[in-house]
Chains A and B, each alone.
Chain A
Amino acid sequence: MMFYWSLCVEYMKNYAKTRLTYRADFWIEVLSDILFQGLNLIFILIVFQHTPSLGGWSEAEVVFVYGFFMIPYGVFGTFFNLWSFSERYIVKGEMDRILTRPAYNLYQIVLENIDPPSIFGSIFGAVIMIISWSQLGLPFEALDALMLVVFTVGAVMIYAGLYTALTAISFYSDAPTGILPLMWNIQNYGRYPINIYNKTIRFLLTWLLPFAFVGVIPASYFLDRHEEGLTTLALFTPVVGIVVLVIGITIWNHGVKRYRGAGS
């Protein structure tokens, strides 16, 4: 455990050293990242100029959900930057190098691709959440802080599990599937109150691709929205996270085994 922690620190140091040479790029990346995410916020703000509520949710509530959504997404983006995994590790064969090193392969790959600018998205999200928190006049208790951490960890595990599983497809098929951007677009559904969608999409987002658990469901715990058992469902976020992550890592390990030709 100590070993894996010290590796993480070492990789972070190397990232920092790389980036010191291109400092301006770092801030431009942060800014354009936030702007990219901010498009949805602008949409919300403009729309609420014309309507008092969105499916029964007020502007501050929707913005709150948006803010919460950004927090786990930023953490996930920092540690999971494997969008070009297939290209770099399978096609160019860097996977071989990873496998000649004495540390867990997925961990090495994750650390080699960390992207700290993404964490600023989390900070941005947290600020927005705090602002709407006070606008809504919600009480703040110590338990809320704890739950925020628990939900964030759970949501990050959901992202990590889903995208690890999808990235592992590269071990099975070298044809470009375009499935990652597909998923990325679906996850944006999780930003908005889930009751606005029809039954099929709601079911899909809750139980199949549980993106509702990375945004609206845990956020509704703080907002005290009891309809359709949202607050109760929120408590399951870490459980869903663990299940999805375990599935993701199992698929990954199976993929690595396959890559090494140990039979499928």
Chain B
Amino acid sequence: MKRTFKLEDLDCANCAAKMEDAISKLPGVTKCSINFMAQKMILEADDDKFDAVLKDAVKCVSKVEPDCRIII
């Protein structure tokens, strides 16, 4: 499954790269790309694990940039 999410208060490009890195390494994630300019994240993960993966992704994001939120 592939879904696009909006990111709020994503303020630093370096952080976006770090988030992308961290989320891509999560188990169950096929592909993750974060577009700093469009403030969007495209997450591709196994269908049955998607919700769990998304939860982990949210954690990753707030770890790297505490102000930033994924809008679900």
A binds B: no
Residues of chain A having any CB pair with chain B under 8 Å: none
Residues of chain B having any CB pair with chain A under 8 Å: none
